[in-house]
Amino acid sequence: MLSKKVWPFAAAGIVGLSFWAYTSFGTSKDGTPTKQQILLQTIGAVLEEKHFSPKKINDAFSKSVFKEYFEKLDSEKNIFLQSDINSLKKYETTIDDEIKGSPIQFYTAVGEIFKKRIQETRELYRAILAKPFSFNIDESVVLDAEQLSFCPNEKERAERWRKRLKYMVLERFVELQEQRDNAAKNNNKKNNEATLGSETSNEKPAKVELDTMATKTDAELEVIARTRVLKTMERFFDRNKKRLEDNEQFSLYLNTITEMMDPHTEYFAPIEKRAFDEQMSNKFFGIGAQLREEDAGMKIASIVPGSPAFKSGELQVGDMIVKVAQGTGEPVDIAGYAIDDAVKLIRGEKGTEVRLTVKKADGATKVVSLIREKIVQDEAAARSAVITQPDGKRIGYIYLPEFYADFENPNGSRASVDVAGEVMKLKAEKIDGLVIDLRNNGGGSLYEVVRMVGLFIKTGPVVQVKDKDGAPQVLEDRDPSVLYNGPLAVMVNELSASASEIFAAAIQDYKRGIVVGSTSTFGKGTVQKTLPLGKQVDFFTGRTDGGALKLTFEKFYRINGGSTQLKGVYSDVVIPDTYEYLKFREKDTKNALAWDQIPAAPFKTSTEFQVDDVVKTSTTKIAQNKAFVTLRQNAAWLSNRSSLPYNLSITKYKQEQAEVRDRVKQNDNALKLAKDMQVEALIIDKDKFYNNPDQAKGERYQQWLKNLRTDIYVNETADIVSLLLSKQAVFANNK
């Protein structure tokens, strides 16, 4: 299952935290296989024999690994030359032989060239950044690596680096110009205030502290910008020295091979489980954002409900953290930082301020101020509120961030139990309909999702699970009782994955309710298990000398027979959002397993709710909604813009940035409701919200309500439930 603590795209970051414990390579002097050969051969055998849908490890597989390994080492395609790749072509069809026991040669040969090219690249960017740039030349740069090939020669590589570095300097130069203009305005204001004060008191003008930035020339700002980029590059390459280490490269090589099977099959080098868990928990920095490292920088992988990052409402999954400042201190550019280094800057004392400069997926830059707090995990549990519609209908709303389950504690929290509790509280409030919000819910316990579906249906199948060989196993609800039988809508988005998709699919297949949200959910319909490799070296931790392999071995299927893999769940009513064109769903990843279908499990659809009529009416209404039309058009525009070359002319650059900011502003305005919804805490929860002994926690609950009142998507979904309620009443009267 896909836990929120291990986000679909955060897994790549986990691999980066691992390390390779062995130091010998190839074949030993006496001709016996080394540990690396044995491990590689073992992994190959497991992949072919145990993977759900194994690819044959043959020459075609070898060619794929050959191509992908270069791109993993040089994702921006600006380090290797095409001649390097050509010189190693002799290994293109021998990697499969290495996997099956031949001496390891390809990866070590690549490593020798990589070290040489890294040193050349370092000398190259230093030389380029030693000279000033002119931003009056009409030229552009392609930054999308998917549109690039490896450099044909050293001249082309130098030119590619010149343009890339120029763009980085241009970004900072324009930012510095804006700071200078603001400083000049502030200086004028201070001078005017001092002069006004002296005129009223017949005293000499008071001496004021002026910002020296206001006096900087463009030439001086260009030097500052170039210096900052140089520091960023030095940090980045210092950090990437690890990739020059044989251990690190071998681990990367193994993962290139495992990921050829599917994106969720991964190799983890030897590491103590407890230490691994600690590493993962250390990513929660006091602001409630889990990060992942990418070559482009540090991105937000998930946001903890109730945390400062969540309460701000200004941070989103996929935002890139560019700079970190302590209170009013000077922002530190963290490009090239490792997660551990970023922790030192983002962490701090409780109650202190940290300012994050983030770059949005659409290219806009924003500064977000957060006050550090202890992240309270109990705020990640299910919670509810009541929405009172203009016509007086009362719609219950339940937010579920993940399908959590404390398996170690029989009395621990469980998502299905908590949701049942919230439903009972809402029924006591005499609700007319119900919304369950699974947006950004990455999944969790399969057992919990089966039980939760059972709250809304009579007995019947919920999901089918199948391995590569056996017949599908049907997991079903056997409890004939139904806790809630009224109108229901399930909210999803592109980040609703795994267990969330199972729940939404079951509700949809039974026609028990309406799925509302993005065109489709994430599309992770596979199940993984971890297999230890090598000999056990620690009984208590389970650590082995060969690490572990996380292997895809099962697949989820809906009760109608279709897989949730790749396609996800299509919403009945689609509401445009800003995520639609971002490429992070399962279908956007390399080597994702295909969608397929098995026989349906026997089930009966509900006939109580006029789902089809409501879907048609609501779809027409949304298509005519100006706010959603704006969001749809701007999402397409921003997506198209991100794939185009970037101008290096300062005039055109500023024009482009102004256009981007205008589109983002339009989106911000479109997402604001003209009038807040009437949303209140449940009577039984009033004290939790307004008289909480933990004042900070109470304020967080109140902030959650405040954010809910302005949520345009919740508002639209509540309207859909109201319409479903009206259609049901008409249907009942006509029976």
Write the CATH number for 643.
3.90.226.10
Q: What is the mean pLDDT of residues 493-512?
A: 97
Residue with the larger pLDDT of the pair 238 and 691: 691
* Domain at 331, CATH number: 2.30.42.10
Q: Within 497-610, where are the H helices?
A: 499-509
Confidence (pLDDT) at 455: 98
Highest-scoring range by mean pLDDT, 236-245, 326-335, 413-422: 413-422
Indicate whether 536 belongs to any domain: no
Looking at residue 287, the DSSP 8-state letter turns out to be S
Compute CA distances 126 → 142, 157, 165, whole Å. 21, 14, 10
**Contact by Cβ (8 Å): 505, 569:** yes
248 and 225 part of one domain: no
Q: Residue 333 pairs with which residues in a beta bridge?
A: 323
pLDDT above 50: residue 89? yes
Q: What is the mean pLDDT of residues 169-198?
A: 85
Confidence (pLDDT) at 380: 74
Long-range contacts of 330-336 (CB under 8 A, 24+ apart): 331/355, 331/357, 333/228, 333/231, 333/232, 334/297, 334/298, 335/232, 335/235, 335/236, 335/297, 336/232, 336/233, 336/234, 336/235, 336/236, 336/237, 336/238, 336/239
Kindly report the number of other CB atoms within 10 A of residue 496's CB atom. Answer: 32
653 and 580 part of one domain: yes
Confidence (pLDDT) at 10: 28
pLDDT above 70: residue 14? no
pLDDT above 70: residue 645? yes
pLDDT tens track for 433-489:
999 999 999 998 899 999 999 999 999 999 999 999 888 999 999 999 999 999 999
392 and 453 part of one domain: yes
Indicate whether 18 belongs to any domain: yes
**Contact by Cβ (8 Å): 157, 148:** no
CA separation for the pair 13, 452 (Å, rounded) = 31
Indicate whether 540 belongs to any domain: no
429 and 507 part of one domain: yes
289 and 260 part of one domain: no
Confidence of residue 35 (pLDDT cuts 50, 70, 90): confident
CA separation for the pair 582, 135 (Å, rounded) = 30
361 and 449 part of one domain: no
Highest-scoring range by mean pLDDT, 79-93, 178-192, 291-305, 668-682: 79-93
Indicate whether 376 belongs to any domain: no
58 and 145 part of one domain: yes
267 three-state secondary structure: strand
Confidence (pLDDT) at 185: 87
pLDDT above 60: residue 3? no
Confidence (pLDDT) at 340: 67
Q: What is the mean pLDDT of residues 135-155?
A: 95
Kindly report the number of other CB atoms within 10 A of residue 620's CB atom. Answer: 9
Indicate whether 542 belongs to any domain: no
CA separation for the pair 204, 208 (Å, rounded) = 12
Main-chain dihedrals φ then ψ at residue 598, nearest 5 degrees: -125, 170
Domain total in the chain? 4
Q: Which of 325, 343, 371 is the last residue in one of the domains?
A: 371
Indicate whether 279 belongs to any domain: no
Q: What is the mean pLDDT of residues 247-269?
A: 91
Q: What is the mean pLDDT of residues 72-92?
A: 96
354 and 394 part of one domain: no
694 and 713 part of one domain: yes
**Contact by Cβ (8 Å): 444, 403:** yes
Q: Which of 345, 371, 397 is the last residue in one of the domains?
A: 371
589 and 711 part of one domain: yes
pLDDT above 70: residue 730? no
Indicate whether 339 belongs to any domain: yes
66 three-state secondary structure: helix
CA separation for the pair 187, 691 (Å, rounded) = 46
Confidence (pLDDT) at 609: 79
Confidence of residue 375 (pLDDT cuts 50, 70, 90): low
Kindly report the number of other CB atoms within 10 A of residue 720's CB atom. Answer: 28
Confidence (pLDDT) at 378: 59
pLDDT above 90: residue 708? yes
Q: What is the mean pLDDT of residues 102-117?
A: 94
466 three-state secondary structure: strand
Q: What is the mean pLDDT of residues 89-111?
A: 95
3-state class percentages of the chain: helix first, strand second, coil last, to nearest 5: 45, 15, 40
**Range with the poorest average pLDDT among 20-29, 121-130, 665-674:** 20-29
Confidence (pLDDT) at 382: 94
CA separation for the pair 167, 363 (Å, rounded) = 14
Write down the mean pLDDT value for the chain: 86
Highest-scoring range by mean pLDDT, 29-43, 598-612, 711-725: 711-725
435: enclosing H helix or E strand: strand 433-437
596 and 696 part of one domain: yes
Q: Which of 371, 401, 422 is the last residue in one of the domains?
A: 371
Who contacts 54 (Cβ-Cβ below 8 Å, separation ≥6)? 47, 48, 261, 468
Indicate whether 545 belongs to any domain: no
Closest C-alpha to 323, from 222, 183, 179, 221 = 179
Q: What is the mean pLDDT of residues 674-692?
A: 94
225 and 249 part of one domain: no
446: enclosing H helix or E strand: helix 446-453
What domain range is 225 assigned to? 165-229
Classify residue 159 as exposed, middle or buried by CB count within 10 Å of its CB (0-12, 13-18, 19+): middle
